A and B are shown apart, each in its own frame.
Chain A
């Protein structure tokens, strides 16, 4: 049953990815403006242009180009970036870790903040504390990450300048890293000075990304906790003499968390989508920032590669959340 569900999901995932590839391929090829003309000096002859067009395969029909590109992708060859003249896959893998670290730190913060406020709100239900949490989460939810980023830049970059508002790491530092996962590697190497520097750069973009998600987690988890808290087994635990906090943490939480989990999965993909503009805002050297440059430079192979990697990330997250839900939900596990 579970296997069948998994295989169906895998198939739809491939169809979705194929659809994304088709859409992005068609969209960027109807674009006016010749990327080849942009990369040549003004004195280039028509023959030069034609030679370069042939080199990048732009002299063939759209359908031919698509299948040449697709067969390359199947072999792990995403083509060569026009503006940076490097292998697209290499460029993407160079930047992806920065974006993943940012997104994961933001996710952890969102779960911690949303979870804590949900538990406090459920414990203090019906009081001014809960009302305050509701107002705060309502505002956090309505204001998108782009605006939160700007608010944070003003507050902690200008008014009280305690965090860095630009870049991923201080440029004067010597980095001993062999991977692009700077944050995790600095922890593994116990170079906590570097960890601190990385976190100081990452904190504000991460908070901007985390706040809307934290608000959703807070609202949904609080709602399910309040529902669970009226059930018999919880009342029984209370009668046994557990304090309200103990009742929530030991009895209610694990049953209330399941609906939140599915939602967090979908919302996490929105969070990753938000990294594009938030990275731009904080000049953070991740995939999203590179994507915007690629669009501005009309770097077709690079745009295609980045969009496909984002799409792959999104469908993988949805797939894993779906599987996790099926594994954790007894009704689906047996039925």
Chain B
């Protein structure tokens, strides 16, 4: 118990840092046209490969420097955040809805429902996820909705496996038996009694999945299969940075820092939320 409380106290500053970064990045993405110092698409070969502001040769107004086409890196990162957050929220929520529902059904009803769902999960787990994602986007065609759909199709199993196991545990508890004796229907018990008790796990996984979705989107843009090439994406900037790594390291460093901070924040946020909601630790 003491350890749990100590853990909770230790988690707090991390929660603030993680939440702070996510809020900052999200607000910047939402108000991108107002915050971005430059047009993210404007090319100017006179301004190509400008270094970040503290280095010799930097231009005012181009804080993080420019890429090999003279486009402002900071503005591209801010606009790239729009795609990243849209994909993170939409894909994670879609994967969560499908996976949690199937997990609840498999865990609560057991029997054939469980056998069929678990077999499908087994098949899904036998695919290398990145290859599966690339394959799906190639099939669905590049574009924002394809990326979101592909991530949801692949990652629902994460929710399904965890929620299935948790639901199985909850279903054996006394309160479920009591509800049954009290005459509630099975679907009613599943949704009204069991579901609220697995919500902490769902929320924690949801936050984790948002981080994963951001990475998958970056990987897809990296292999040039995400959305149209015009709009800046974090993965797309990284792909450019990888190519010009010896001439302009900043084009790789800044999107990389942005991605790492975002992924770490989503996972820390998830952990902290789980601890906060967990009745045992509370």
- Quick check: is B113 within 8 A (CB to CB) of the other chain? no
Assess A154 versus B123: contact at CB under 8 Å? Given A142-B264, A274-B130, A288-B128: no
A298 pairs with B138, CB closer than 8 A: yes
- Quick check: is B139 within 8 A (CB to CB) of the other chain? yes
A31 pairs with B138, CB closer than 8 A: yes
- Quick check: is B141 within 8 A (CB to CB) of the other chain? yes
A-B contact count (CB 8 A): 123
Within residues 91 to 134 of chain A, which ones have a CB less than 8 A from any CB in chain B?
A: none
A28: B residues at CB distance < 8 A = 135, 139
B122 pairs with A30, CB closer than 8 A: no
Number of interface residues of B (CB under 8 A): 39
Assess A310 versus B130: contact at CB under 8 Å? Given A147-B215, A280-B223: no
B220 to A, closest residue via Cβ: A277
A288 pairs with B131, CB closer than 8 A: yes
Assess A311 versus B135: contact at CB under 8 Å? Given A146-B219, A154-B245, A154-B249: no
A295 pairs with B134, CB closer than 8 A: yes
B256: A residues at CB distance < 8 A = 147, 150-151, 154
- Quick check: is B126 within 8 A (CB to CB) of the other chain? yes
> Taking chain B's interface residues, is the majority helix, strand, or loop, or is none over half, making it mixed?
helix
Contact with B along A53-68 (1 / 0, CB 8 A): 0000000000000000
A288: B residues at CB distance < 8 A = 128, 130-131
Alpha-carbon separation in the docked complex, A139 to B264 (Å): 8
A275: B residues at CB distance < 8 A = 128
Within residues 301 to 317 of chain A, which ones have a CB less than 8 A from any CB in chain B?
A: 303, 306-307, 310-311, 314-315
Alpha-carbon separation in the docked complex, A256 to B264 (Å): 29
- Quick check: is B201 within 8 A (CB to CB) of the other chain? no
B130 pairs with A277, CB closer than 8 A: yes
A158 pairs with B126, CB closer than 8 A: no
A31 pairs with B139, CB closer than 8 A: yes
B246: A residues at CB distance < 8 A = 158
- Quick check: is A192 within 8 A (CB to CB) of the other chain? no
B235 to A, closest residue via Cβ: A146
A147: B residues at CB distance < 8 A = 215, 256, 259-260, 263
A315 to B, closest residue via Cβ: B126
- Quick check: is B252 within 8 A (CB to CB) of the other chain? yes
Alpha-carbon separation in the docked complex, A15 to B256 (Å): 41
Number of interface residues of A (CB under 8 A): 47
B123 pairs with A142, CB closer than 8 A: no
Within residues 266 to 295 of chain A, which ones have a CB less than 8 A from any CB in chain B?
A: 269, 272-277, 280-281, 288, 291-292, 295
Q: What's the minimum C-beta distance from B151 to chain A, rounded to whole angstroms?
A: 14
A157 pairs with B245, CB closer than 8 A: yes
- Quick check: is B127 within 8 A (CB to CB) of the other chain? yes
B191: A residues at CB distance < 8 A = none
Assess A32 versus B141: contact at CB under 8 Å? Given A19-B123, A280-B223: yes
Assess A143 versus B263: contact at CB under 8 Å? Given A30-B139, A158-B245: yes
B219 pairs with A23, CB closer than 8 A: no
Q: What's the minimum C-beta distance from B133 to chain A, rounded to whole angstroms?
A: 9
Within residues 108 to 161 of chain B, which ones have a CB less than 8 A from any CB in chain A?
A: 119-120, 122-123, 125-131, 134-136, 138-139, 141
- Quick check: is A326 within 8 A (CB to CB) of the other chain? no
A-B contact pairs, 8 of them (CB 8 A): A24-B135, A142-B263, A154-B245, A154-B256, A275-B128, A276-B128, A280-B223, A315-B126
Q: Which residues of A contact B (CB under 8 A)?
A: 12, 15-17, 19-20, 23-24, 27-28, 30-32, 139, 142-144, 146-147, 150-151, 153-154, 157-158, 269, 272-277, 280-281, 288, 291-292, 295-296, 298, 303, 306-307, 310-311, 314-315
